[in-house]
Amino acid sequence: MLDLLSDILTRLSLRGTLYFRTSFTPPFGIQVPPFENVARFHFVQRGELKVHVPATGETLRLKQGDLILIPHGAAHMLLCNEVQPMEALPLDRVLEEAGYKGDGVLVYGGADDGRDTQLICGHFSFSGPPGRGGTGHMLIDRLPPFIVIENYGEEGGAWIEATLRMIGSEVNGARIGADLIALKLSEVLFAQAIRAYLEHQSPSDAALAGFADQRISRALTAFHRAPAEDWSVEGLAREAGMSRTAFAQVFAEKMAVTPMQYLTNWRMQIACHGLSESRWNVADAAAEVGYASEAAFSRVFKKQVGLSPAAYKAMH
């Protein structure tokens, strides 16, 4: 059965690219540059390290089994205990000095082989629509600059632990199809990390409080299962088990948009996905998101995305 997180990640066209596994030995310090519409993760398979995030000024200490997710592609630094952030070298220079060509393990650092730090690193891109900031959905856009899940392989359960083991195995090996298998498993890991954050680190701030609220979540899930239905605030309130007035107030407080603004935003995201990924024409897109009139759909689409549906389709 379709669920809320699955629908959001599928419609955003999440694309995973496992870019390297590392073996770092002290002293080491690497500056990872920022990228737009990208999320990254680093899982500590062995050893320990510091991760410095300049955007927040925080330096985090990760040990074996920990995972850090950087949802918005912010610049960060991977450091051993002895190296300070200002001493870290740009990633391009590290790759050049290590002679790394994109295959196998990135081996870098000093001669202290007894303190080897091994990471599994993943990189994900999102195909967000033009004319809007972020990935195209507020759940991803409102994630914090970083998420650390301690003892991720164990606390996350048997499925996560098995996923991590399989990624490590595929990256280590040279079997046919290893790259694709590792890529898809990394996408699974990313979804699991977001789910673990929402379920076990239930955010109380306004940024993600709506998705953690069971009543709001019921209404959102119902809408995501049938986005083309003739939804109203009353209909969503019934799904939430609330009065219309109370639902509208709580939704706006926790989501920072009205219920109908959320519906419109997501319908246009579906239309973007269909026009670019499924080769819909404008009439298909209008029907799929619940518009009887192409003209009405086109007006809303252009207001939200900044382009007409036909122009958006031509671009893709």
Confidence band, pLDDT 50/70/90 cuts, at residue 135: very low
Alpha helices in 37-157 (DSSP H): 91-98, 138-141, 152-155
Please name which of 154, 140, 145 lies closest in space to residue 195, comparing C-alpha atoms. Answer: 140
pLDDT digits (tens, 9 = 90+) for 2-56: 478 788 877 777 776 766 789 999 999 999 999 888 889 898 989 999 999 999 9
Q: What is the pLDDT of residue 2?
A: 45
Mean pLDDT of the chain: 84
- pLDDT band for position 133 (50/70/90)? very low
Q: Are 65 and 154 in contact (CB under 8 A)?
A: yes
**How does DSSP assign 124-184, residue by residue?**
EE--PPTTSSSSS-HHHHTS-S-EEETTHHHHT-HHHHHHHHHHHHHHH---TTHHHHHHH
For 99-129, what is each residue's pLDDT tens digit? 998 777 899 998 877 789 999 888 888 765 5
Domains of the chain in sequence order: 4-200 (2.60.120.280), 209-315 (1.10.10.60)
Q: By the 8 A CB rule, do 65 and 151 touch?
A: yes
Token code pair at residue 287: 């029907």
Is the pLDDT score of 236 beyond 70?
yes
Q: Is the pLDDT of residue 153 over 80?
A: no
Residues 305 and 288: their CA atoms lie apart, in Å, by 17
Residues with Cβ within 8 Å of 245's Cβ and at least 6 positions away in sequence, in order, are none
Q: What is the model's pLDDT at position 281?
A: 94
pLDDT digits (tens, 9 = 90+) for 186-229: 777 777 778 777 776 555 555 577 887 889 989 999 999 999 99
Q: pLDDT value at position 223?
A: 95
d(CA 39, CA 139): 13
